Amino acid sequence: MNINDLIAKYVLDKSSQEDLDTLREWESSSKENIDALNQIRNSWDDLDRLKYYEDFSPELAWSKIDPELNEEELARTFRLPWSSIAAAVLLICSAVIFWPKSVDPIKTDFSSTDTIEHISEMDGSEIILAAFSKVDLPKDYSTVRAHNLDGKAFFKVAHDGERPYTIKTIHGDITVLGTEFSVDVSDDRFEVFVVEGKVAVRFNSRDVHLTAGEACKLFEGALVKYRLTTPNYLSWVDQKIVFEDADLETFVETLQRHYNVTITVSENINTNQCKINTVYTDETLQEVLDELKTVFGLNYSIENGQYRILDIQC
């Protein structure tokens, strides 16, 4: 498929994952390609705001894009002639007349239900969105790559020294240039953990800088920085949990984080009496509890979506 078809499908939100990967490769080959796609995207946004197709002027739309593009740079990766970019714009303009008006041209908001979502961004970054979470992506990647997050997500950020990558939350903002890190945010929780690179977390007008292996969390109204040694902290990303001589307290804390549920333990249980050695890969919480029921005689209850361990024999 040629590049003008890919661009047209992209702005009409009809791209497959393969289409997006190919378009991202073309876009990332030069800053001029990035600017070109942003110009086309912005022009499409202007067209989408027209109430009637009779108001549409192809000449006006083209005039907005033409001064910004550089034919030689646009052709760098796919050797595109100028006519190909023109064809892409004309194809998009035709879609204004013939495509249903209810089409949302660009998907920028993602919400997950009970499974994780994998999101590929146009700048080459990747997001793994945890269950029951929501993230909003930028419509324009030409300046600051701004995101909004509610819930939990793992970010693999494509390096770009000229365009900072930011995540805004209800508690504070995170700014990076290129790294891998996780963010977990809710009304009463805010945690950031850096796997690679470094990030700056802004909280109450103060910046907290984190490097690989460091984390920060909201505790009693303050942002506390610490070195994270908790195993399985990112188990929800690769869906693998490893326990080595884990006591019941550690086991329960890990399951709560991994499955995003609340699990309490009856007061009469000694949480140090069990040592758990096992590996779970892609198992559901129900499958994990069923295994403990068989091995340790686990007895538990479920009420209003919350789990309570009533008894366990070790």
Point out which residues pair with 203 in neighbouring strands: 206
With CA atoms as reference, report the closest residue to 223 among 184, 191, 186: 191
Global model pTM greater than 0.85: no
Three-state SS letters, 100-131: CCCCCCCCCEEECCCCCEEEECCCCCEEEECC
User: pLDDT tens digit string along 58-110?
Assistant: 555 545 544 444 444 444 444 444 444 455 555 555 544 444 444 445 678 99
Between 15-29, 168-182, 242-256, 259-273, the lowest mean confidence (pLDDT) is in 15-29
pLDDT digits (tens, 9 = 90+) for 123-143: 999 999 998 999 999 988 888
How sure is the predictor about 273, in pLDDT bands with cuts at 50, 70 and 90?
confident
Nearest CA among 91, 110, 89 for reference residue 36: 89
Fold of 235-311: Phage tail protein beta-alpha-beta fold (3.55.50)
pLDDT digits (tens, 9 = 90+) for 33-66: 777 777 776 666 655 554 444 444 555 554 554 4
> How many CA atoms does the CB half-sphere of 245 hold within 13 Å?
0
Cα–Cα nearest to 314, from 283, 270, 281:
270
Given CA atoms 151, 27, 201, 173 in this order, what sign does their dihedral have? negative
For residues 223 and 24, give the distance between their C-alpha atoms in angstroms, rounded to a whole number. Answer: 36
**How many other C-beta atoms can be found within 10 angstroms of the C-beta atom of residue 182?**
20
**Domain boundaries along the sequence of the chain:** 3-98, 109-227, 235-311
pLDDT at 91: 53
**What pLDDT is attached to residue 127?**
96
- Among 13-27, 122-136, 147-161, 289-303, the minimum mean pLDDT is found in 13-27
Query: pLDDT band at residue 305, thresholds of 50, 70 and 90?
Result: confident
In 3D space, the residue among 137, 157, 152, 164 whose CA is nearest the CA of residue 190 turns out to be: 152
Average pLDDT over the chain reads: 80
Q: Is there a contact between 19 and 12 (Cβ–Cβ < 8 Å)?
A: no
Q: How confident is the model at residue 12 (pLDDT cuts 50, 70, 90)?
A: low
Give the per-residue SS3 of 184-214. EEECCEEEEEEEECEEEEEECCEEEEEECCE
* Whole-number Å distance between alpha carbons of 114 and 121: 22
User: Taking residues 269-295, what's their average pLDDT?
Assistant: 89
What's the CATH number of domain 109-227, 3.10.20.30, 3.40.50.2300, 3.30.230.10, 2.60.120.1440?
2.60.120.1440
Dump pLDDT digits (tens) for 150-199.
999 999 999 888 889 999 999 999 999 778 999 999 998 999 999 999 99
